[in-house]
């Protein structure tokens, strides 16, 4: 039934539900035919130097807090000079007011430079270098998970996503509270597990493997797909083919194949419009500590790119999206097809894998 409805979905407005959050999305694929006279983004800088002596993320660079980076050769981790969370106990107390509730929170924030190269993003790095990044994610999640309930690893790539430094890097914010979106995912996955006795995202994965409509790329252990409920035009969801709840559960083979599928998927992104593709990508796993109830969880990652029509026309989440619900201008099936058609090796001019 679902597989036969693609044309109807492409021609007629309809709403879809995200089972992870309970939120709905309005799909209006016919809107891509409308003319565009709005903002056009500037193209990203095509070439960067391999090393920028003025960059505070390069080896030997001086950071804003006064520290000088070591001459690192692989992933480099340091505490953010301007962290959003602080590890010290706060003097703020819990307010009892039902209307104006506030409570203290503590945590830490770190930065991971992927490599010493100022000019190479993840898909441009060789596979063994990406594997070192994956290993660093696992090590950091395991370490911080011993102290904090939630460890959020995420990458904002490109100026369009608010990235203030082009040196390829990601961030970690770890805190003692479960944030809003992971809390929604935890609740909805737990409700599904209690009702059906199965893991929600494993059911999604198995149905997608059966339908083969929204899968973009897969390997032995992982698959990337455009979720049925995607809000952003080329949003993707990464799922493991095995029962994995957190970074902590990844064995050697899964780390290597994770590096491999990241390289493939992110190359497809870059090839879509021939640029270094902007996005926010982050990882969701079962909250810590490791012995907390987590049978309902499946480890996964979300990637949210803003581009819609081309390298210079983006999707704006404004108006109806802010005041009512998210809306998208092409179907997830159309987006998956366009991404699937892209090669898994970089086509744009510039850097090779060397």
**Bridge partners of residue 218, in order along the sequence:** 223
Binning the chain into helix, strand and coil, the percentages to the nearest 5 are 30, 20, 50
Q: Who's near 182: CB < 8 A, 6+ residues apart?
A: 150, 152, 284, 287
DSSP letter at 174 equals E
Cβ proximity of 134 and 125 under 8 Å: no
Whole-angstrom distance, CA of residue 310 vs CA of residue 43: 10
Beta bridge partners of 242: none
Indicate the burial class of 226 (C-beta count within 10 angstroms; 0-12, 13-18, 19 or more): buried
Interhelix angle 252-273/332-340, nearest 10 degrees: 100
346: three-class secondary structure by DSSP: coil
- Closest by CA position to 122, among listed 235, 260, 26: 260
Distances in Å between the Cα of 51 and the Cα atoms of 100, 255, 351 are: 49, 28, 14
By the 8 A CB rule, do 251 and 134 touch? no
- Angle formed at CA 338 by CA 336 and CA 343, multiple of 5 degrees: 105
Active site residue 169: yes
How far apart, in whole angstroms, are the C-alpha atoms of residue 255 and residue 259? 6
Q: For residues 278 and 297, give the distance between their C-alpha atoms in angstroms, rounded to a whole number.
A: 28
Structural contact between residues 247 and 283, judged by C-beta atoms closer than 8 angstroms: yes
From the candidates 169, 188, 284, 296, give the one annotated as an active-site residue: 169
Dihedral class, residue 6 (left if φ above 0, else alpha if ψ from -120 to 50, else beta): alpha
Return all residues near 59 (Cβ < 8 A) that are at least 6 apart. 51, 69, 70, 71, 72, 73, 76, 116
Catalytic residues: 169
């Amino acid at each position: 039934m679902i597989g036969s409805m693609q044309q109807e979905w492409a021609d007629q407005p309809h709403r879809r539900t995200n089972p992870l959050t309970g939120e709905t999305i309005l799909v209006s694929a016919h809107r891509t035919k409308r003319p565009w006279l709005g903002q056009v983004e500037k193209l990203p800088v095509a070439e960067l130097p391999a090393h920028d002596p003025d960059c505070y993320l390069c080896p030997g660079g001086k950071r804003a807090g006064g520290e000088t980076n070591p001459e690192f050769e692989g992933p480099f981790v340091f505490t953010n000079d301007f962290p959003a969370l602080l590890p010290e106990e706060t003097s703020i107390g819990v307010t009892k007011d039902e209307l104006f509730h506030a409570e203290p929170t503590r945590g830490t924030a770190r930065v991971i430079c992927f490599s010493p190269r100022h000019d190479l993003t993840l898909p441009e790095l060789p596979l063994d270098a990406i594997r070192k990044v994956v290993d660093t994610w696992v090590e950091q999640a395991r370490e911080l998970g011993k102290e904090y309930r939630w460890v959020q690893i995420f990458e904002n790539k490109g100026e369009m996503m608010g990235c203030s430094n082009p040196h390829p890097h990601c961030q970690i914010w770890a805190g003692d509270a479960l944030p809003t979106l992971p809390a929604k995912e935890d609740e909805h996955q737990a409700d599904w597990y209690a009702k059906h006795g199965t893991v929600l995202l494993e059911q999604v994965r198995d149905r997608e493997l059966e339908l083969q409509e929204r899968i973009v790329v897969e390997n032995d252990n992982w698959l990337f797909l455009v979720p049925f409920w995607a809000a952003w035009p080329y949003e993707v969801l990464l799922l493991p083919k095995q029962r994995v709840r957190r970074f902590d559960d990844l064995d050697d083979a899964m780390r290597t194949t994770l590096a491999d599928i990241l390289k493939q998927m992110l190359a497809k992104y870059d090839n879509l419009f021939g640029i270094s593709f902007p996005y926010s990508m982050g990882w969701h796993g079962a909250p810590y500590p490791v012995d907390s109830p987590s049978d309902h969880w499946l480890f996964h990652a979300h990637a949210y790119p803003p581009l819609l029509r081309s390298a210079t026309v983006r999707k704006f989440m404004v108006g109806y999206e802010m005041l009512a619900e998210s809306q998208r201008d092409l179907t997830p099936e159309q987006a998956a097809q366009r991404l699937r058609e892209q090669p898994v090796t970089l086509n744009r001019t510039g850097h090779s894998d060397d």
